[in-house]
């Protein structure tokens, strides 16, 4: 199961730059049974290794924008440190289901803009580049806190509000996500919030999967690639909503059981 999960997620990452945390964290919590802290830490390391393999494919083809990358990192790295510290502070209560649901709604709705040309503004990033670090700050905070869906928001932002081509957006997001994953993984590794055996199994499927995804991205036409990226982001948002709803219901059931047991005593 872990091999299949790693393979499918890595194909999505290699082809679209999305999915490292959006799919991995919910899968590890719901299907593998890891705690929230372990799932986030394992997903960070997995995403970092997968993106490290994928990044050269886009860098060699010059499918990235260095200026936008630095601007995004300027806001996301401080946010990542804040989010990681908050995750460490709250421990196993990380991944508040309400926050996850709201993030999923935001991701699904923002990704839908790809299919509404009138709502797009391809000159926004070029004319308002000073705002990119501030827009990336909350992305970094969410990435540090849950590793789920935040990177996809950066992809959607650049896909619909910059002049970059879809391959450039994917390449820029891969390097952007790689830097955040390396920093985040270092913190989670230090804190011990990671499951090594699950990580090895994920990588066994993830390494061939990311190579396949990168190969597919090179042969898919740019317009179709943009559609695929948006569709994957929408699916990631719906996945987060579903995961948050299940967790919220489980938490409420557990709280109700605790109250009943307390009243019975």
The confidence score (pLDDT) of residue 206 equals 93
What pLDDT digit, counting tens, does each position of 147-166 carry?
A: 655 567 778 888 888 888 88
CA distances 61 to 65, 165, 210, 217, Å, are: 12, 13, 17, 12
Integer Cα distance of 237 and 159 in angstroms: 16
Digit-coded pLDDT (tens) for 205-222: 999 999 998 888 878 887
Cα 243 to Cα 28, 216, 249, 251: the distances in Å are: 11, 29, 10, 12
Q: Which residues of the chain carry a pLDDT beneath 50? A: 92, 94
pTM of the model as a whole: 0.73
For position 96, what pLDDT does the model report? 66
């Amino acid at each position: 199961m872990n091999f299949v999960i790693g393979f499918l997620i890595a194909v999505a990452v290699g082809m679209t730059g999305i999915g490292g945390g959006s799919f991995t964290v919910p899968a590890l919590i719901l299907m593998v049974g890891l705690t929230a802290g372990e799932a986030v830490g394992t997903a960070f390391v997995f995403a970092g290794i997968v993106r490290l393999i994928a990044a050269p494919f886009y860098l060699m083809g010059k499918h990235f924008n260095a200026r936008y990358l630095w601007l995004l990192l300027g806001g996301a790295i401080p946010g990542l440190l804040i989010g990681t510290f908050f995750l460490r502070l709250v421990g196993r209560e990380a991944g508040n289901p309400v926050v996850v649901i709201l993030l999923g709604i935001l991701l699904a709705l923002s990704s839908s803009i790809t299919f509404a040309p009138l709502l797009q503004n391809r000159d926004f990033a070029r004319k308002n580049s000073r705002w990119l670090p501030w827009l990336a700050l909350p992305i970094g905070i969410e990435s540090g806190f849950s590793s789920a869906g935040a990177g996809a928001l950066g992809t959607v932002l650049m896909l619909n509000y910059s002049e970059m081509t879809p391959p450039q957006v994917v390449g820029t997001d891969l390097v952007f996500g790689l830097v955040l994953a390396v920093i985040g993984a270092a913190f989670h590794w230090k804190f011990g919030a990671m499951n090594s055996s699950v990580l090895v199994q994920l990588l066994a499927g993830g390494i061939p999967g990311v190579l396949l995804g990168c190969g597919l991205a090179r042969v898919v036409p740019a317009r179709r690639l943009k559609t695929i990226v948006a569709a994957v982001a929408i699916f990631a948002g719906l996945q987060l909503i579903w995961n948050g709803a299940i967790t919220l219901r489980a938490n409420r059931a557990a709280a109700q059981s605790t109250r009943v047991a307390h009243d019975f005593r």
